[in-house]
A = this chain, B = another copy of it.
Amino acid sequence: MSERLVVIGGDAAGMSAASQARRLKGPGELEIVAFERGHFSSYSACGIPYWVGGDVGTRDELIARSPEEHRERAIGLRMRTEVTEVDVPGQRVLARDLEAGTETWTGFDKLVIATGARPKRPALPGIDAPGVHGVQTLDDGQALLDSLEGTPGRRAVVVGAGYIGVEMAEALLNRGYEVTLLHRGEQPMATLDPDMGRLVHRAMDGLGITTVASAAATKILTGEDGRVRAVATDAAEYPADVVVLGMGVVPETSLARAAGLPLGAHGGLLTDLAMRVRGHENIWAGGDCVEVLDLVSGRERYVPLGTHANKHGQVIGANVGGGYATFPGVVGTAVSKVCDLEIARTGLREKDAREVGLRFVTVTVESTSRAGYYPGAAPMTVKMLAERRTGRLLGVQIVGREGAGKRVDIAAVALTAGMTVEAMTALDLGYAPPFSPVWDPVLVAARKATAAVRAAG
């Protein structure tokens, strides 16, 4: 007897789940119906800044698999169709065809919720004015590009200095804009400790990006034509021909909330290790709409990243398809770049560690990406947190140039394995002058952290 799998959301998590389930079960065993409210399926939202910035030539390059390609694999993907209600006891979803305006109920045996995230969009006066853009979807990216083409002005204001904010600052800089980055905190990149954020701030200054701290936007000012002309804070006005909102995202879980499914402190769906929604045998959830377990702190966190979404999809698909897989959690790894500046982090920041009651030491070291005498050796700063007494690695933050960012993977694996910083000092990492100093910067930090743990007692 054939079962029906319904998938809500046609991007990374949902379509990975559908594809993996299809690999395990043919159309005779499992019917798959997927609903996507937008115009595109399975695309790389993380690539949008590079498309806007001109590094990626066309929108289509960001699309991993088109709706037609999914359909060829016997996945019934319905585009521009929004699920408006999930009837959990009745095992059915109500979907509205956004073109035709019609609504239909579809029953399911198994359900995957992959509704993603929506950008934070504060209710500021003028926020809906032409020239103010989010960059969450391909449609958003296209609208921004159209807006840039339609305006002769070259002043851009980016609101928010997280990953999206700094990546969009780079994109606009690459397009020849004069970029001002407004952020509310003490330093940009609040995913780093402030001391490391300061390095990012300085480097962005060097790149010609004007970064303004403690600057909460209070109002979007418009011109006579109704288009944005400036962003106001309590302290000043920043002239803008275009404004990009990069204030982060929140889980898109309004459907799940209405259906009575369990949500966590961050508003994301709560699942078990198999990505099954807690308390619901036949409902899975993954991607930017769920919370994930942070393996270092033991707390649920909200980490909307395409790489997790893809893993969730694989795990869900395996389980839905009759196999077995789990997603054990994250350690909080992220990497980003602004021009040639590379920024990376994994594990806990100082405030994260304090929040869960951990006592720790921190060390910061300066080193280089290659042997000091080798051409292209670039400075990098590595900060490391280790637990007092046990010496367990708690987190690493890296700010540097070429070759700095992906070194965070060393720490990500060490965190997953629960290594101490002393054990890390003996790690057999790849060494040759074009790749590393004879002591890799991560090892230098581990040595210093080992000494700090001993000294702290």
Shortest C-beta distance, A251 to chain B (Å), equals: 19
Q: How far is the CB of A44 from chain B (nearest CB, A)?
A: 7
Q: Return the contact of A430 from the options B333, B433, B447 (Cβ within 8 A).
A: B333
- Of the candidate stretches A256-264, A277-285, A352-360, A405-413, the one touching chain B is A405-413
A side interface size, CB within 8 A? 64
A211 at the interface (CB under 8 A from B): no
B50 engages A439 (CB within 8 Å): no
**Contact residues of A between 263 and 322, Cβ < 8 Å to B:** 305-308, 310-311, 314
Residue of B nearest to A373 (CB): B61
CA of A306 to CA of B375 in the docked complex: distance in angstroms? 19
Tell whether, in the assembled complex, residue A432 and residue B311 are in contact, meaning their CB atoms are under 8 Å apart.
no
Cross-chain contact of A427 among B163, B332, B416 (Cβ < 8 A):
B416
Chain B nearest CB from A376 CB (Å) reads 9
Please state if B428 and A332 are interface contacts (CB–CB under 8 Å).
Answer: yes
* B310 lies within 8 A of A436 (CB): no
For A238, what are the chain B residues with a Cβ–Cβ distance below 8 Å? none
Residues of B within 8 A of A56 (CB): 373-375
Q: Using Cβ atoms and an 8 Å threshold, which residues of chain B touch A419?
A: 413, 416-417
The answer to the question of A334 belonging to the interface, with a C-beta cut-off of 8 Å to chain B, is yes
A406 CB contacts on chain B under 8 angstroms:
403, 406-407, 430, 435-436
Q: Which residues of B contact A44 (CB under 8 A)?
A: 371, 373, 433, 438
User: With A405-B435, A414-B413, A438-B310 known to touch, is A428 a contact of B330 (CB < 8 Å)?
Assistant: yes
Q: Are A374 and B337 interface neighbours, CB within 8 A?
A: no
The reply on A187 being an interface residue by CB < 8 A is no
Q: How far is the CA of A334 from the CA of B432 in the complex (A)?
A: 8
Residue A46 is within 8 A (CB to CB) of chain B in the complex: yes
Q: Is there contact, CB below 8 Å, between A374 and B50?
A: yes
**Closest residue of chain B to A376, judged by CB?**
B55
Q: Are B426 and A328 in contact (CB under 8 A)?
A: yes
Contact B371 A430, beta carbon cutoff 8 Å: no
Say whether A331 faces chain B, with CB atoms less than 8 Å apart: yes
Contact A427 B412 (CB under 8 A): yes
When chains A and B are docked, how far (Å) is the Cα of A457 from the Cα of B300? 35
Q: Mark A57-93, 1 if CB is under 8 A from B, else 0.
A: 0000110000000000000000000000000000000
In the complex where A310-B438, A335-B435 touch, is A428 in contact with B403 (Cβ < 8 A)? no
Complex interface: chain B residues within 8 A of A435 (CB)? 335, 337, 405-406
Which residues of B sit under 8 angstroms from A62, Cβ to Cβ? Answer: 373
Residues of B contacting A191 in the complex (Cβ-Cβ under 8 angstroms): none
With beta carbons under 8 angstroms apart, the residue of B311, B427, B431 that contacts A335 is B431
